[in-house]
Structure 1
Amino acid sequence: MRLFIVISLYFLGITGSPVCVHQMTTRTVQSGGSVTIPCSYANPGKPDEDVRVIWRETDQQLCSSTAAEDTIISHSGNVTEKYKGRLYREKDPNRNRTEYITITGLKPTDGPRFCCQLYDIRYGHIFKDSGLGTLLQFPGTEYITQLDEVMAVSREDVIIPCYYSKDISDIIKVTWYYADRGKNDCTHIALQEWRKDQYFNSRYSLVNFTQDISLRIRNIDVTYERSYCCVISTSTARATLESKQFTRLIVAEYQSSWNQPTNNIILQEGHSVTLPCSYTLPSGRSTERDVVRVNVYWRVGNVTGPYAYHPYQDMVHSTYRHRTSMTGMTNLMINDVTKADNTSFHCFVVVKRCAGDYRYDDDIQYGGGTRLIIKEPSEPPQMSSFGQEALVLAAYVAVKFFIAVILVVLGCVYGRAKNTKRST
């Protein structure tokens, strides 16, 4: 009997696997602009048809509120008056358990924290939320922000960005720490501390203290696959300021075979092209229901080259910014190819899986490489000098013949007119 129950639950998708709801922790926005906030969930423990996503806003640190007045869009799709005409929701066409809300005409009074929560329509209650939700960071406030994920290949130098919303010249001290993803907090394990009057020459360094406090790590390997936290002190602040969004560094072990693309595509300059990329779920008991997010990265030239596509647009090389996009789950579309695209493109896929309450496992895979061969636009065939001379001669003869015909016709008309005049 127990075996029958277990098998039944398995086929219904109702298992003892941990339930996860995932959101990006922060988004930097502009007043009057728009923002798209994704929400993904895995292993809801209930049939998909019984699960709905509701969205709330709060000014608290956590998404624990269940007050009805905090609801901005209900499980049935009703939008609160505050956001009518500005809030839209949509399902991800490529993932069953991912949806987005887009808010337009942003105001400083919006949010600032938006939370997606799982709602059981059968029993009418919320049974899981994302914990921290997504915090909107408006200009005029003091904050530090980081990317939630950076991918790299072993042996390369990697940069983990850290952005400060105020005048960076006010910063007098920068400290990078390892972060505890489970507690969403910086640990007490400092990588290194930098002051304006001190400089260090080591594996860890800042890009440029006076202009950029991002962390550079040289010659990395898979042991650097950790979460990192940026903390600063300013000349005016009474306390340190730390980022609300920590960066998870995902490292792929370098393989020499990656630099030999398995696909070749030949096309003419000015056309658009789609490059293929594929991935498989990690071996073991993982299923599609365990996956909360799939991030795709395309690098150009070689596997450690600049980004032709990155989930964060600011990280894309200027040559490809606003010229590349994803089609399907992982394939890369490049518009208006140029001679500069006559190179190789390499795909990496990071699969984030639910590993427990607010805990995730990250798996990085090489998704394949493609060599683009760009041809110049075809030109009309050139005529030989002999052909050109023949064409000129033919045109000359045709013109003379045409003139002769006209003279004959005019002569006939004149003769007829003269005969008619004599007869009268």
Structure 2
Amino acid sequence: MMSCVLILLMLCLWDRIHNTSGQHCIDQPTRMESLVGGEITIPCQIAFPVKKNKIKSVNVAVRASADRNYCGRENDEIYNKTETSMMSSNHQERINVHVDLDHRNATITIKNLLASDGAKNYCLRLKLKFEGIQKAEEWQDAWGTLVLVKGEREPGVETIPVIFASPGENVTLLSHIKIRNGNTLPNITACRIGPGTPTQSCLFKDSILSFKINQVNRKHQGSYWWEIETSTSKGKTSSNHPGPDLQIIGKTNSLNIIQSEDTEFHRHTTINCSFTVQQKSGILRTEVYWMIGDPREDYVYHPNPDYIHPDYKGKTRLVDGSNLLLEDFHGPDNTTFYCRVIIRKCFANEKILSSIRTILEDGAGTRLRIRGNSTSIFPIVLGVVVVFLVIFIVLVICWIKTRGNKPPNSGDTFPETTEKPEDIKIPQQGEHLVYATINHSSSSTLKKTESSPDPDTEVLYADVKKK
């Protein structure tokens, strides 16, 4: 009886620890930027323990703090779904929050941005009440998203919030220059980038900023900033803009990614990719990319089209969540396509309420064979080869006949013959060819030491024409 009570107490304690000490996370991008008068939408991913109890009520709040390290103070609240009196008059009718607990995501949208909206951290805060449970569960992202708002005549930068890579890969950081409607693109004279203070030169072309890092390692990890130098009639000015966060993640093999070893390409092809997640609870988001290259550096598919290699833009898309549909292909035979899965997961942690980790894993790769195209071209190639071969043979025959009919010149030489004069047929009347022998014994050119040639073996051919 005592043992049953102890087991019961342990189960209750485990349920309490499981529900309170972890798996309560909200994942937001670190930084975002927009322009005065525009709007910005902050994506948020949500994780909380799964319970049998139904959700009784949901309260959503947004806090904005000028303290860039933390936005957890209650007086920083600018939006509250249930307590409308808490909404800031400055944000009324400009802020909209949408929460989808079934899909574990939410968005914070701020319209008609003001200069005063910038340089603040915006945090989503959730409060859930479950039936049969007295105490509500309340949590948020402690640091939120730093929002920067650029002035009317300043350029803005739009960037993917975070890039995940594995050690040894080649990584390209990209961002878009944004301008207000009616403004012209500024004359950019220099571009620099760096984690912290920008120090290295970057490239600028067609409103895209780019910077490539070869063979990344842990020292390249961090939050990158762009520094743009522009030239105006008043002189040169420079401005800083948030770039991507680069996270270097070691690969795992826990997802059991399965890809077929090879497949054939015809007019279009689907390359399959499947994987297994052992514990689905606590997952904030799952992303699937497709890459080629060794080391991995070129994206065949990416949620942001800017990152897709030019040869594959508009030619690939995901089907069934993870499979790659390749609608056109002009690359070499035996190109290998790798399925990359990235999972952001909320873990229980005794010291930190919200502990988010990233899992990165690649499949073994699928080799694409272009047999469908090669079989249709082969008969044409074979036909061309046969035609050229026939032409070559005909030309050789004609050349041989031409050489055979050509009369010999005085300098032409002839092969020796072993025929004796008595074996030679006398030409008939009307024939031009006659035979003669030459006796070299009287030749003055012969050396005395040399033996005289046998007249029987010396034959001279002559073409004598009868009159």
41 and 239 in structure 1: CA distance in 2 versus 1, 3 angstrom threshold: same
2:247 aligned with 1:241: no
**Which residue of 184, 187, 194 maps to 1:176?**
194
Cα deviation digits, residues 231-270 of structure 1 (max 9, x gap): 5375789997352x65132245699xxxx9743333530x
2:125 aligned with 1:117: yes
Q: How many residues align?
A: 334
Letter in 1 for 2:47: A
Cα deviation digits, residues 116-136 of structure 1 (max 9, x gap): 322122458672112314748
Q: Where do 5+ consecutive residues of structure 1 fail to align? A: 178-185, 195-204, 282-286, 380-424
Shift of 1:159: 2.4
Q: Distance in 2 between matches of 1:327 and 1:138?
A: 38
Letter in 1 for 2:273: P
Structure 2 residue matching 1:276: 3-state secondary structure? coil
Instruction: Note the aligned Cα RMSD (angstroms).
Output: 5.2
Cα deviation digits, residues 102-146 of structure 1 (max 9, x gap): 969x54469887643221224586721123147486884555565
- Given that 2:64 and 2:77 are in contact with CA atoms closer than 8 Å, whether structure 1 keeps it comes out as no
Shift of 1:46: 6.9
- Given that 1:14 and 1:47 are in contact with CA atoms closer than 8 Å, whether structure 2 keeps it comes out as no
Structure 2 residue matching 1:121: 3-state secondary structure? strand
Letter in 2 for 1:292: L
Matching residue of 1:298:
290
Query: How many percent identity over aligned positions?
Result: 16
Shift of 1:47: 6.4
Q: Distance in 1 between matches of 2:293 and 2:320?
A: 23
Q: Distance in 2 between matches of 1:40 and 1:209?
A: 33
Shift of 1:335: 5.5
Shift of 1:346: 0.4
Matching residue of 1:410:
none
- Given that 1:228 and 1:248 are in contact with CA atoms closer than 8 Å, whether structure 2 keeps it comes out as yes
**Which residue of 321, 324, 327 maps to 1:333?**
324
Matching residue of 1:23:
28
2:162 aligned with 1:149: yes
TM-score by length of 2: 0.53
Cα deviation digits, residues 10-34 of structure 1 (max 9, x gap): 4574152363211223456689999
Q: How does 1:21-420 map to 2 (within 5 A)?
A: 21-27=26-32, 37-44=42-49, 49-50=54-55, 54-56=59-61, 60-61=65-66, 64=72, 70-71=78-79, 82=93, 90=100, 98-101=104-107, 107-108=112-113, 115-122=123-130, 127-130=138-141, 131-133=143-145, 135=147, 140=152, 143=156, 146-161=159-174, 165=178, 174=192, 176-177=194-195, 186=196, 193-194=199-200, 206-207=202-203, 214-221=210-217, 223-224=218-219, 226-230=221-225, 232=227, 234=229, 241=240, 243=242, 247-252=245-250, 262-266=260-264, 268-269=266-267, 271=268, 273-278=270-275, 280=277, 287-300=279-292, 302=294, 304-329=296-321, 331-334=322-325, 336-340=327-331, 343-354=335-346, 356-357=352-353, 359-373=355-369, 375=372
TM-score by length of 1: 0.58
115 and 54 in structure 1: CA distance in 2 versus 1, 3 angstrom threshold: farther
Q: Distance in 1 between matches of 2:328 and 2:212?
A: 32
Structure 1 residue matching 2:246: 3-state secondary structure? strand
- Given that 1:143 and 1:241 are in contact with CA atoms closer than 8 Å, whether structure 2 keeps it comes out as no
Letter in 1 for 2:127: Y
Q: Distance in 2 between matches of 1:74 and 1:325?
A: 41
Cα deviation digits, residues 255-313 of structure 1 (max 9, x gap): 9xxxx9743333530x46252142556xxxxx433432333221035552411122333
366 and 233 in structure 1: CA distance in 2 versus 1, 3 angstrom threshold: closer
